[in-house]
Amino acid sequence: MVCVPFSRRDLLKGSAAVAASLSASPVSAQAPEPQAITPALIAAAKREGKLVFYTAMDLQFAERLGKAFEIKYPGMAVRVERSGAERVFQRIDQEYQSNIHAVDVVNTADQAHGIIWKRNGWLDSYLPEEVVKYFDKAFYDPDGLHVTTRILVSPIAYNTSLVKKDAAPKSFADLLDPKWAGKMCKGHPAYSGTIMNATQQISRDLGWGYFEKLAKQRVMQLQSATDTPKKIALGERAIMVDGAGYLVIQGKEKGEPVEIVYPTEGTPLATSPSAILKAAPNPNAARLFFSWMHSREAQQLLVDAARQYSPHSQTVEKPGVRKLTEIKLMKEDPATVERTADEIKTRYAKIFGV
Amino acid sequence: MTDVTRTESSWRPARFDVSRPVLVLFAALLCMLIIMPMSWLVYYSFVDRAGSFTFGNFVTLFTDPDFLNPLISTVIVATSSSAFCCAFAAPIAWLVARTDMPLSGMVRALVTASFVTPPFLGAIAWELLAAPNSGLINKAWRAATGAEMDDYLFNIYTLPGLIFVISCYTFPYVFVLVANALDRIPGDLEDASSVLGGRTWFTARRITIPLTMPALLAGALIAFLQAMTLFGSPAILALPAGFHTMTTKIWSLFQFPPKPELAAAASLPLLVLTIVLLRAEHLILGRRGYSVVGGKQGAPRLVRLGWLKWVALALVFLVLMLPVFLPYGALFNAAFSRVASQFISFSNFTFQNINFVLFELSATKLAVKNTVILGFLSATIGTILAVVISYVTSREAITGHRALGFLATAPVAIPGIVLGVGLFLSYARPPFVLYGTLWILLIAFVTIALPSAYQQMQSAFRTVHVDLEDACRILGGSRLRTLVGVTAPLLRTSVLATWCFIFVGVMRELSAAIILFTSDTKVISVLIFDLKESGDLGAIAVLGICMLLITFAVVIGVNRIPGFGGSVKVRNQ
């Protein structure tokens, strides 16, 4: 038996810290009934036999998650449609405007999307049993319309063969040092939900002036938060300003020369909501996948293989990742992101030119 | 023959004038393809969100630096690419067509290979080669010279880098036009010059070059339009460099909340510029006659280069390294390498990328299926349209043929992304909801391909002298019988070439597809673009190579269909 150096209490504390940083939603009068995975649901899902999963998570893991589901429930086929969270959001909007209902289950990296879809009345109310049992209330919508599947952080990271450890930046402020000019890459808030939230949090805590100074550093502008860790691993740029922390950890464990830095000002946080669409073409398959995705089995895969943080209190942390409680996190504010997303994108594009 | 005569004579009295329905049908079809999307485009550019009339979109367009800068970048990119293409393609075309340089067939094949390469794939390959830090060329250069970590030879994420990559995949257009023109110049004219005492270079300067000017001008124009309307290359290279071109800007206007009015307004300058340039070309060429084809002509004379021919060949291969050898090398390297930017080695070699694309990536199957279906349908429908319309116009078979010819040529003035926006505005809402089906992509692909397909078929019809058809008709054949029995067999090579040309065009197309796809109607080019967003370079390399294999397999397969025979190369224009 491998000794796990984390106690369950640690984990709960970590989740609670994130939960506390989420804005509380008003409790609705009638919480929906928790739903178990019943043989009837499995049979109905298998009759549909397939589902379409729009997601913003890294493609390799999204496909792995789909395959694990197909193995658990033979006869099911999952088609993954991956792009940045903001593009996923735009895609669903564009398709729904034309009455195209192709998506069954969606997962993005921006809680604001849950708010908007709920308001549009596009989401199916469905609370898996395990979510009610093992997830903090802050991690699911009281009306059961969306559930937080993953907890993401957007730290700084660098390539260790290009930057010495003691020379590495410690904070966002350090990145303004002229010696990093032309050596950084960055994701874009119009494509990535993680970066959208990171941009909102950094601009709130450090001011837009920070980005104006950063833009003078000739930053290479990428799109997805999943691209920046790959670019520093290739050595194309020495430092990533933001991006998916979990991919840096994955890369490091694969032997890539990358190292994470949790900036002293605080690390941007983005929790990642999932939902079932009301107009899903495969409603039972969607419910089965949704329930399974939030089960301990899938959530443990999320921790072990994807190296992300899980909101499921029964998951066991795998060493090699800093505990959430030990990271100084910026406060996530989906309501403000929802209200100001367009303004953030416009202002960002003005500053960085694209 | 008696049999034919009998059938025809018994059929002729009941003959129904088919010209009117044909005209109406095709005109209606072309209106649906072209006029409707363009009308919506113009309409949307003059309304605000609430639907009332405004000039506001254009005020924003021409005062806001967010739009003005991309417009300027676009003009710079298009002009310089066009100039580059001419500077390199014209001399190579001359070497291939008019000199005794060896291996000219192979050079033509390599140019075809660079034409078949989708520009966005070329751009990604050049990222692998010439990204300042991780690019293979820069790495090799650093290893060879011991230069510092941050030094680099090339930086592809720059304006010149973008111009270079666009030129790499646009120059085949110029090459083919100029080479074809040179092939057609009869040896007699040059002989006449020689007989009158003109030396080789004098003849080249005074006879050959002036006669190819129209083709070169047309090539420059097409290169300009191509460079202006490309979406993939700037999205891949300009955005990381921190600037937009018009196409990427238009695309970004579809981000949430979508601004279709601004996208429509931003599309119009591209449309207007294209029309103005085409008009200008017509005015310049229209006044001169360049008719060189007529009667019997001697074979073109080849200029003897002597020992210089080996130098010329070396230079040509050096130039062709850029669009063909180096990028394909980089893609193969990335496909079999654990880390895309490292040279394959024993420890680095992997089949993981291939395994991922073929067996794990759940979007592959659907995208390949959609692309192949669209390729076959667009090529078949497009070829039929082109054959019928060019027959009607070249034989003046029905009244109103000029209008048909104009409608078939008109889409040349519509950049892919503009057409995408127009079609989206037309067919994404009732009464015609085609968005979300393959039909809307089919319409887009056929429309984009039609002008060149039509031009190609029309010039083919011109080569079949009407005497041959008349002979058949005098012997009692009907118009249809003549088309099927005489004209079509003579044209089969051109028909096949047109079909292949459209098929290749569908594989290359990204700019309209990026606006019009849904998750169920994704094509390979869009899938590659999505993979690019998340930086999965190994998967892109594998998928790109698969795409090229499909293209070559189909093109070769189609040319082997029994009954067609003959060897057909993918030609364009």
Q: Per-residue pLDDT tens for A25-83?
A: 444 556 789 999 999 999 999 999 999 999 999 999 999 999 999 999 999 999 999 99
Comparing CA positions, the residue from A65, A64, A107, A70 lying closest to residue A89 is A107
Q: Are residues A117 and A231 in the same domain?
A: no
Is the CB of A222 less than 8 angstroms away from the CB of B531? Answer: no
One-letter amino acid identity for A341?
A: A
Task: Compute the nearest-CA separation of B365 from chain A (Å).
Answer: 10
Contact B269, B194 (CB under 8 A): no
Is the CB of B240 less than 8 angstroms away from the CB of A221? Answer: yes
Q: Are residues A142 and A282 in the same domain?
A: yes
Question: Distance between CA atoms of A144 and A291, rounded to whole angstroms?
Answer: 12
Contact B208, B185 (CB under 8 A): yes
Is the CB of A59 less than 8 angstroms away from the CB of B536? Answer: yes
Question: Distance between CA atoms of B389 and B384, rounded to whole angstroms?
Answer: 8
B362 contacts in chain A (CB < 8 Å): 63, 66, 77-80
The reply to whether A206 falls in a domain is yes
Contact B441, B523 (CB under 8 A): yes
On whether any CB of chain B is under 8 Å from the CB of A240, the answer is no
Comparing CA positions, the residue from B112, B114, B240 lying closest to residue B167 is B114
On whether any CB of chain B is under 8 Å from the CB of A211, the answer is no
A91 contacts in chain B (CB < 8 Å): 518-519
Q: Which of B238, B257, B535 faces A226 most closely, judged by CB atoms? A: B535
Question: Distance between CA atoms of B239 and A227, rounded to whole angstroms?
Answer: 14
Per-position DSSP letters for A64-124, written without gaps between them: HHHHHHHHHSTT-EEEEEE--HHHHHHHHHHHHHTT----SEEE-S-HHHHHHHHHHT-EE
Residues belonging to chain A: 354
Residue of chain A minimizing CA distance to B260? A94
Beta-bridge mates of residue A156: A261
Q: Are residues A219 and A202 in the same domain?
A: yes
The reported pLDDT for the residue numbered A86 is 95
On whether any CB of chain B is under 8 Å from the CB of A237, the answer is yes
The reply to whether A224 falls in a domain is yes
CB atoms within 10 A of CB A215: 17
On whether any CB of chain B is under 8 Å from the CB of A13, the answer is no
Q: Are residues A240 and A345 in the same domain?
A: yes
SS3 A38: coil
Q: Are residues A43 and A120 in the same domain?
A: yes
Spatial CB neighbours of B566, under 8 Å, sequence gap ≥ 6 = B492, B493, B496, B559
The reported pLDDT for the residue numbered B507 is 92
CB atoms within 10 A of CB A301: 19
Q: Which of B131, B429, B533 faces A224 most closely, judged by CB atoms? A: B533
Alpha-helix runs per DSSP H in A98-192: 111-120, 129-134
B428 contacts in chain A (CB < 8 Å): 97-98
Half-sphere exposure of A307 (CA within 13 A, CB side): 18
Residue of chain A minimizing CA distance to B522? A81
What token pair was written down for A178?
């002229």
Boundaries of domain holding A225: 153-268+339-352
Question: Distance between CA atoms of B204 and A327, rounded to whole angstroms?
Answer: 75
> Helices (H) and strands (E) in chain B — how many of each?
28, 0
Question: Distance between CA atoms of A62 and A55, rounded to whole angstroms?
Answer: 8
* Phi, psi (degrees; rounded to nearest 5) at A184: -120, 150
Q: Are residues A126 and A73 in the same domain?
A: yes
On whether any CB of chain B is under 8 Å from the CB of A354, the answer is yes
CA angle A182, A253, B343 (to 5 degrees): 60
Q: Are residues A224 and A302 in the same domain?
A: no
Half-sphere exposure of B282 (CA within 13 A, CB side): 6
Q: Can you give the CATH number for the domain in which A243 is found? A: 3.40.190.10
Find where tokens 């695309």 sit: B251
Q: Where are the beta strands (DSSP E) in B64-156?
A: none
**Low-confidence stretches of chain B (pLDDT beneath 50):** 1-14, 289-296, 565-573
**Low-confidence stretches of chain A (pLDDT beneath 70):** 1-30
Task: Compute the nearest-CA separation of A123 from chain B (Å).
Answer: 19
Contact B546, B539 (CB under 8 A): no
One-letter amino acid identity for A177?
A: D
ipTM of the complex: 0.89
Where residue B464 falls (left for φ over 0; alpha for ψ -120 to 50; beta otherwise) is beta
Is the CB of B132 less than 8 angstroms away from the CB of A236? Answer: yes
B256 contacts in chain A (CB < 8 Å): 86, 89-90, 93, 341-342
What's the topology of domain B363-573? MetI-like fold (1.10.3720)
Question: Which sequence spans correspond to the domains of chain B?
Answer: 44-288+305-324, 363-573
The domain defined by B44-288+305-324 carries CATH number 1.10.3720.10: yes
Is the CB of A235 less than 8 angstroms away from the CB of B133? Answer: yes
Longest Cα separation, chain A: 63
The reported pLDDT for the residue numbered B18 is 66
The reply to whether A173 falls in a domain is yes
The reply to whether A19 falls in a domain is no
Question: Distance between CA atoms of A89 and A94, rounded to whole angstroms?
Answer: 9
Residue of chain A minimizing CA distance to B518? A95
The reply to whether A21 falls in a domain is no
Question: Distance between CA atoms of B422 and B415, rounded to whole angstroms?
Answer: 11
Calculate the dihedral angle through the C-alpha atoms of B47, B52, B53, B54, rounding to the nearest 10 degrees: -70
Q: Are residues A158 and A144 in the same domain?
A: no
B436 contacts in chain A (CB < 8 Å): 95, 98, 100, 102
Q: Which of B134, B252, B533 faces A235 most closely, judged by CB atoms? A: B134
Q: Which of B134, B240, B428 faces A222 most closely, judged by CB atoms? A: B240
The reported pLDDT for the residue numbered A17 is 54
Question: Distance between CA atoms of B502 and B507, rounded to whole angstroms?
Answer: 9
Q: Are residues A205 and A147 in the same domain?
A: no
Is the CB of A100 less than 8 angstroms away from the CB of B518? Answer: yes
Structural domain tally of chain A? 2
Contact B516, B330 (CB under 8 A): no
Q: Are residues A40 and A69 in the same domain?
A: yes
What token pair was written down for B204?
């080249």
Contact A327, A106 (CB under 8 A): no
Question: Distance between CA atoms of B437 and A99, rounded to whole angstroms?
Answer: 12
Q: Are residues A172 and A211 in the same domain?
A: yes
CA angle B559, B564, B569 (to 5 degrees): 35
Q: Which of B157, B256, B436 faces A98 most closely, judged by CB atoms? A: B436
Chain centre to alpha carbon of residue B527: 20
Contact A159, A233 (CB under 8 A): yes
Contact B128, B341 (CB under 8 A): yes
Alpha-helix runs per DSSP H in chain A: 8-21, 39-48, 59-72, 85-97, 111-120, 129-134, 193-206, 208-215, 228-234, 245-253, 283-293, 296-301, 334-352
Q: Which of B157, B238, B363 faces A220 most closely, judged by CB atoms? A: B157
Q: Are residues A253 and A276 in the same domain?
A: no
On whether any CB of chain B is under 8 Å from the CB of A80, the answer is yes
Contact A82, A57 (CB under 8 A): yes
Comparing CA positions, the residue from A233, A284, A333 lying closest to residue A75 is A284
The reported pLDDT for the residue numbered B466 is 78
